[in-house]
Structure 1
Amino acid sequence: MVDVESDGPIPGDYSMISFGAVIVEPGLARTFYGKLKPISDAWIPDALQVSGFCREETFAFETPTVVMERFGKWLKDEIKDRPMFISDNNGFDWQFINWYFHHFAGDNPFGHSSTNLGSLYKGLVKNTRDNFKHLRKTKHTHHPVDDAKGNAEALLYMKQHLELDIKL
Structure 2
Amino acid sequence: MSYIMVDIESDGPIPGDYSMVCFGAVVVEPGLERTFYGQLKPISEKYVPEALAVSGFSREQVLGFDEPQEVMSRFADWLAEVSKDRLMFVSDNNGFDWQFINWYFHHFTGRNPFGFSSTNLGSLYKGLVKDTFQTFKHLRKTRHTHHPVDDAKGNAEALLTMKEEMGLKIKL
TM-score range, shorter chain: over 0.9
Structure with the higher strand share, 1 or 2: 2
AA in 1 matched with 2:150:
D
1:162 counterpart = 2:166: yes
| Separation in 2, partners of 1:79, 1:165 | 20
1:87 counterpart = 2:91: yes
The number of residues matched between the two structures is 168
Q: Root-mean-square deviation (CA), in Å?
A: 0.4
How many angstroms does 1:161 deviate by? 1.1
Q: What is the aligned counterpart of 2:106 among 98, 102, 105?
A: 102
Residue deviations 1:76-113 (CA, integer Å, cap 9, x gap): 00011121000000000000000000000110000000
- Percent identity at matched positions? 74
The runs of 5 or more residues in structure 2 that have no matched partner are none
AA in 2 matched with 1:165:
K
Which residue is 1:55 aligned to? 59
AA in 2 matched with 1:11:
P
1:146 counterpart = 2:156: no
Which residue is 1:136 aligned to? 140
1:114 counterpart = 2:125: no
Question: Which secondary structure state, in structure 2, belongs to the residue aligned with residue 85 of structure 1?
Answer: strand
| Separation in 2, partners of 1:148, 1:93 | 11
Q: Which runs of 4+ in 1 moved over 4 A?
A: none
The runs of 5 or more residues in structure 1 that have no matched partner are none
TM-score, length of structure 1 as denominator length: 0.99
